[in-house]
Amino acid sequence: MGERALEKNTGFKKWWLMLRPHTLSASFVPVALGTALVLPVKSPNIRLFVAMLIASMLIQIATNLFNEYFDYKRGLDDEHSVGIGGSIVRDGFHPKTILRLAFALCFTAMLIGVYICANSSWWIALVGSICILTGYLYSGGPYPIAYTPFGELVSGLFMGVFIIWISFFIQTGTLTLNCILISIPIGLLVGGINMANNIRDLEGDQAKGRLTLPILLGREKAIKVLAGVFAFSYAWIIGLMVFRVESAWLLIVFASLPKAIQAAKRFQMKTKAIQMMPAMKATAQMQTLFGILLSLGVVLDHYI
């Protein structure tokens, strides 16, 4: 397994993996949920939904590429880097190619943003610009967010909560309490994907001067916090039903519980980065499944 994870990728595969496609659920799920929440208010504008989805994914990919570039420039990635990061040193990409592609994707997202603003509100231009700047500053600039204990918080807010709010706002011109409350667990789980990545990279990050949340907490406590994030997300959904904010249809998210348990268990008793790859993958799958089921529950509540 270790040899396969570190082998050199070639052709289309190296370009595909360089984009880190498994992380794109962090942008797809919030857009889908934010749009599903529009149903009780009005029929969603499909063109706006598609535009928001593409723009969010482009910003997500650009953020990944900025991370790739700056990790390389700071010497964090080498040919032994685990996972799909480190493609510059492993797969032969020129650093400037990665950086230019990241800026090109941001520019394309901004062009799509013009269409979204023209059909909703020009305030979205300000919000979108802040999101793009945050994507850059996450790993770029003199004080990268990724090197601090706030990486999970920032990713959860900007790639989870705020995308749901924007997706809802461009369709309705407002925000509702339901939208705000339902966004909470998705934001937590997007942050959880980030935490899973940082737990995996804890030893390497610590050796190279980063101070991520798992480094601050320690591996065992970080795993417990991640499991607590899972548990809180399910408890939050029960609370929404108990207080009649949403219907019992949202309990469909519990179909994703086995994947959450699997992710938490796979982190236990593992100390090497390569051994934690399945746990990190299960965390991303859990967030995707949770979000899709939550969106489905909202749709079913509207139509049934």
Question: Band of the pLDDT at 9, cuts 50, 70, 90?
Answer: low
pLDDT tens digit string along 125-142? 999 999 999 999 999 989
Residue carrying structure tokens 């529009």: 38
Alpha carbon of 182 to those of 12, 246, 284, 302: distances in Å? 38, 9, 19, 15
Angle at 264 between CA 261 and CA 266, to 5 degrees: 105
The average pLDDT across 147-176 equals 95
Contact between 279 and 196 (Cβ < 8 Å): yes
With respect to residue 220, please indicate whether it lies within any of the assigned structural domains. yes
Please write down the HEC assignment for all residues of 186-198.
Answer: HHHHHHHHHHHHH
In the prediction, which pLDDT does 2 show?
A: 42
Q: How far apart are the C-alpha atoms of 35 and 164, rounded to whole Å?
A: 8
pLDDT for res 194: 92
Calpha distance 271→140 (Å, rounded): 28
pLDDT at residue 78 in the model: 57
User: CA 165 → CA 127, 172, 230, distances in Å?
Assistant: 11, 10, 22
Does residue 230 fall inside a structural domain? yes
The CATH number of the domain where 81 resides is what?
1.10.600
Flag whether 3 is in a domain: no
Q: What is this structure's pTM?
A: 0.90
Dihedral of the CA atoms 238, 244, 245, 251 (nearest 10)? 30
Question: Residue 198: what residue type?
Answer: N
Flag whether 2 is in a domain: no
Establish if 295 belongs to a structural domain: yes
Higher pLDDT, 276 or 192: 192
Q: Is residue 278 part of a domain?
A: yes
Residue type, 56: S
Pair of tokens at residue 14:
């190296």
Which residue, chain included where needed, has tokens 């723009």?
55
Question: What residue type is 122 in one-letter code?
Answer: W
When divided into structural domains, the chain yields a total of 1
Q: What is the mean pLDDT of the chain?
A: 88
CA distance 255 to 293: 8
Residues 117, 123, 129, CA angle at the centre, nearest 5°?
Answer: 85
What's the CA gap between 141 and 77, in Å, rounded? 18
Q: Is residue 1 in a domain?
A: no
Residue 193 lies in a domain: yes
289: domain range? 8-303
How many angstroms separate the CA atoms of 159 and 199, rounded? Answer: 19
Average the pLDDT over each of 125-129, 174-178, 233-237, 274-278 and give the range with the smallest value. 274-278
Greater confidence (259 vs 3) lies with 259
Residues 6+ apart with CB under 8 A from 113: 55, 124, 125, 128
Q: 13-32 as b/e, with b when 16 or more CB fall inside 10 Å?
A: ebeebbbbebbbbbbbbbbb
Residues 243-267: b if buried by 16+ CB within 10 A, e if exposed: eeebeebbbbbeebeebbebbbebb
